[in-house]
Amino acid sequence: MKAFKKWAHYLWKEWLRPVLPIVLIIVPLRSSIADYNPVPTGSMNPTILEGDLVYVNKIAYDLRVPLTKWRIHRWANPETGDMVVLFSPDDHTRLVKRVIGTPGDIIEMKNNRLRINGKAVRYTKIDGQYLGNLHENQKNAVLATEHLGDSPHAVMALPQITAIRSFGPIRVPEGQYFMMGDNRDNSLDSRYFGFVERDEIIGRVEAVIGSLDIKNKYHPRFDRFFKDID
């Protein structure tokens, strides 16, 4: 017993006590102010790639009590075109998606082309910069720039995949949002799990911190480190 107490005292003094202040700072910071989110899937291709680690601004819309959903103050709401981290209504996993519809909006899609409140969203030819990041099974992807709100961004379609390419029109209920992935034919989003409650939106995605190519032996993608994203 004496030896155990001595070991426990050593563990506390040399390891736990020095680390405790860091934990007490980092955990609340990540919970309510700034966070990171690993991206394991390609649902946001070509904007975000599998293996990206993204920075999440948790005070973009409001300030929460650390480790809770209680809001101290709200100064903004997600806007059309914002890229956000949210909790899935299905299984409460964290997802990265783009805000397509805000409360009261009428959303419609025909053959992968959106209409919002009766107005067709504009699509233009995309720059070839994204092609180099796609894997071999995506080389036949159809890419375009989607001019959604104030956030023009790249979107991708995969004609060989069975997907929901047309729906609506539907109205977004008050206090809820309609989300989609930029990889329009390979994304589990509001077309499948429905609208997302405002309280389930964690924060806004603003940059890629780092990136590993998980399909190529986890080689670093140095060109994506500290990269702002649309």
What amino acid positions are annotated as catalytic residues? 43, 97
Instruction: Extract the tokens encoding 166.
Output: 């047309």
CA atoms 148, 153, 127, 216: torsion sign: negative
Structural contact between residues 211 and 53, judged by C-beta atoms closer than 8 angstroms: yes
Residues 84, 95: Cα–Cα separation, whole Å: 8
Identify the H or E element spanning 121.
none
Q: How far is CA 7 from CA 1, 11, 20, 21, 101, in A?
A: 10, 6, 18, 21, 58
Q: How far is CA 3 from CA 6, 7, 8, 10, 141, in A?
A: 5, 6, 9, 11, 65
